[in-house]
Amino acid sequence: MVVDALLYHEHTLQHYRLHSYVVMPNHVHLLITPRVPVSKLMQSLKRFTGLEGNRILGATGQPFWQDESYDRLVRDEREFERIARYIERNPVTAGLAASPEEFPWSSAGPIDNRPQVDNLPHSAQQA
């Protein structure tokens, strides 16, 4: 459900370009290029997935997500690649999969928009 929401927000709502993601049991990591304010896209993602998650679990009136989220600016290609690797290796580090590709709730499997460092906003500025 969370992966479907991530892809819907990328493809249909076009809130961001999704480069890497992993949905862990208690948190989510995203590497995105936002197309709308980050606060707006996080509110939209958290609202939908929280309501749907609570519906699936039969829980009402309970927070599904923590209030906080963390974001940071990716400054260059090297940092982009490091963060993408960190995200996709997270399930391996946590002992949930032997390799990143084995974890089903991750971008580590084949997708059409693997991290493309040449399309980051800062890439055009550095050229």
Domain of residue 106 covers 2-126
Provide the residue-wise pLDDT of the chain in tens; the chain has 127 residues.
999 999 999 999 999 999 999 999 888 999 999 999 999 999 999 999 999 999 998 988 788 888 778 888 999 999 999 999 999 999 999 999 999 999 999 999 755 544 444 544 444 444 4
- For residue 127, how far is the Cα from the chain centroid? 28
Q: Which domain CATH number covers 109? A: 3.30.70.1290
The answer for residues whose C-beta is within 8 angstroms of residue 22's C-beta and 6 or more apart is: 28, 29, 87, 88, 90, 91, 103, 105, 106, 107, 108
Report the predicted TM-score, pTM, of the whole model to 2 decimal places.
0.79
Number of domains in the chain: 1
